Amino acid sequence: MFSNVNKTTSAEAGKSAFWAMSIFLLLLSIMLLVLGLYYQIVLHHTPAPLLLGIAAGFGLGTPLEIWNFSDPDTLMRVMAFQDRFLIVCFGFSIGLGAILLYLFAAIPGVSPHYGIKDFFVFGVVVGGLLFGVGVGLAGYFPGTIWIALGQGRRDAIYAVFGGLLGALTWSLIFGAARGFFWNTFNYGPITWYSIFGIKSHLEIFGTSLIFGAILLGMFLFLPRYPKQPVKESCGFHLAGKNNKVLTFDDMIDDENKKYPDQNQYLIRLTNESSIRNARSIIVLGIAFTVIAVAVILLRQIFGESTTYSWIGAQLFYAVNPQYAASNPYWNLFGGMHIVNGKPIDLPFSEIGWEPFSDLGTFLGGLISSIFISKRFMKFKKRVPLVWEHRFGPSDKKRFVGSFFGAFLVLFGARMANGCASGHVLSGNIQMAISSFVFLMAVLIGSWLTLYFVMGLKLNSRGYRN
C-alpha cells in the first residue's frame, strides 16, 4: 500500500517538474524571439551579447535531454530508422521554423543573420558520410556530447576528447584539403527558392509554406515505429481521433534498468503513443523551434561543432601563437591573424557566442538530468545497450567506439562546415540545399554503420534483435 502511494506521489512530482520546465522553456523562447525582433528593428541588426548564448543553448539542450536524445541507444535506434521520434520532431522544427523565419524576414526592418552554408559537393557529401559513420559508432551528435557530459555519462568524456582531436585534425589539414573539398564544384549558398529564381520576401515566404507543410505533414502522419498504422501518428492523437494509449514496454524496462531513479511520469510519457505524448511534444517542440529561429534573428552563429575547433585553436595559440595565427582554418573564425608580422588573437570576433551556447547546452543536460528527468549517471560505468548487444560490456571497447566515433563526427562536421545544429536544423530551416544533402549523407552513413557494424536490424517495434 505504502509502495503504491509513494509511486503515485513520485509520478505526480515528476509530472509537475516536467510541465514546469516545459512552460519555462516556452516563456524563454518567446523572450528570446522578442529580443531578436528588438535587436533587429530597434537596434538596427546589432548582434546579441555573447552571454545570452548560455540561455539559447540551455533552451535548445534541455528539451533534447528531456526526450533522452543524448542517450546513444536512443540516437542509434533513430539513425537506424527503427525509432522515428527524433526524425519527426526535427521535421516539425524545420517545417515550422522555416515558416516563422521567412515570415519575420518579410517584416520591414528585419534582416536575419542567415548562416546558409555553401554547397561544395565533395566536402558536404564526404563530410556527411563520415559524420554518419561516427554517429553510428558513438551514438552522439556534437551537441548531444555536451548534453551527455552534463548527464554524467562516462563515455561522453571519451567522446569530447575524440571530437576535439577530430576537429583539430581537420584544422591542421585544411590548407591542403580546401582546394578539393571546398573549392571543387562549389555552388555557393544556394537554397530551394534561389534555384527557382525566387527573390522577393513574399515569394520566399510562400515557398517556406510549401516546404514547411511537407515537413509538418511528416510530423503529423508518420508513425513512430515501423509497421505501426497511420492512426498511431501524432496528427491523429492531436486531433483526438485516437484515444488509445500504446506503451513500449521494452523501452520502459531498459530505461528503468539504466536510470533506476528516473522520473516515472517522464519515462512513460516518452515511451508511449498517446494524446498526452503528442501534446507534450507540441509544447516542447514549439519552444525548441522558436529558440532556433530567435537565434538567427539575434544575429549570432548557430551551431555546436565549431566550438571544438575553437578550443583547439586557443590551445594551440597558447603554445605557439605564430603558427596558430597563421593557420588558414583558424583565420576563418578563431579571431586569429598575423598583423604586421605579429600574431593577434581576438577569441570571439568571428565565432560569436557559440562557446557560450555550448556551455548552455551542457548546463541544460546537467540541470535537466538532476532535477527533471533524474537520469544523472554520476559517471558510473555504463555501456549503451545497443553497443553491449554487439561488442559486450567492455568499458575499454566502448572507449574506442566513443572516441573514434566522435573523432569522425567532428572531422566530418568541420569538413562539411556544419553539424546537426548548423546544417540539419538551422540550415534546413533556412532551406539550404547543402544542409539537405548533408542530412541525406549523414542518414546513409549512419544506417550503413548501424546495420553492418552494430547489427541493428529493422523490426516492427523498432528495437534491436
pLDDT, one tens digit per residue, over 335-368 is 899 999 999 999 988 888 899 999 999 999 999 9
Neighbouring CB atoms inside 10 A of 72's CB total 27
pLDDT exceeds cutoff 70 at 334: yes
Neighbouring CB atoms inside 10 A of 450's CB total 30
Query: d(Cα 386, Cα 338) in Å, to the nearest integer?
Result: 48
pLDDT band with cut points at 50, 70 and 90 for residue 384: very high
Do the beta carbons of residue 143 and residue 455 sit within 8 Å? no
H-helix segments, 179-305? 201-221, 234-238, 249-258, 264-269, 275-297
DSSP-assigned beta bridge partners for residue 336: 345
Query: d(Cα 124, Cα 58) in Å, to the nearest integer?
Result: 28
Mean predicted confidence (pLDDT) in 294-305: 84
Higher pLDDT, 440 or 82: 440
Mean predicted confidence (pLDDT) in 247-261: 90
pLDDT exceeds cutoff 90 at 304: no
> Nearest 5°: phi and psi at 91?
-60, -40
Cell numbers at residue 187, please? 555552388
Mean predicted confidence (pLDDT) in 99-121: 93
Q: Which residue has the cell 503515485?
A: 8
pLDDT exceeds cutoff 50 at 398: yes
Tell me, what's the pLDDT at 7?
55
Tell me the torsion sign for CA atoms 54, 57, 59, 62.
negative
Do the beta carbons of residue 64 and residue 70 sit within 8 Å? yes
Nearest to 387 by CA among 142, 138, 154: 138
pLDDT in tens, 22-81: 999 999 999 999 999 998 888 887 778 999 999 999 999 999 999 999 999 999 999 998
pLDDT exceeds cutoff 70 at 13: yes
Of all residues in the chain, the percent with pLDDT exceeding 70 is 96
Q: Which residue has the cell 481521433?
A: 241
CA distances to 83, 332, 437 from 339, in Å: 52, 15, 38
pLDDT band with cut points at 50, 70 and 90 for residue 461: low
Of all residues in the chain, the percent with pLDDT exceeding 90 is 80
pLDDT mean across residues, the chain:
92
Q: Which helix (H) or strand (E) holds 246?
A: strand 246-247
pLDDT exceeds cutoff 90 at 462: no
Tell me, what's the pLDDT at 9?
64
Higher pLDDT, 158 or 44: 158
pLDDT in tens, 441-458: 999 999 999 999 998 876
Query: d(Cα 233, Cα 278) in Å, to the nearest integer?
Result: 9
Q: Which helix (H) or strand (E) holds 353?
A: none
Cell numbers at residue 36, please? 531578436
Q: How many helices (H) and strands (E) does the chain have?
A: 20, 4
Tell me, what's the pLDDT at 3?
47
**Residue 345 one-letter amino acid:** D
Nearest to 437 by CA among 448, 427, 451: 427
Nearest to 444 by CA among 421, 417, 412: 412
| Residue-range domain boundaries for the chain | 2-452
Tell me, what's the pLDDT at 6?
54
pLDDT exceeds cutoff 50 at 465: no
Query: d(Cα 288, Cα 283) in Å, to the nearest integer?
Result: 9
pLDDT band with cut points at 50, 70 and 90 for residue 85: confident
Do the beta carbons of residue 286 and residue 393 sit within 8 Å? no
Buried b (16+ CB within 10 A) or exposed e, 317-340: beeebeebbebebbbebbbbbeee
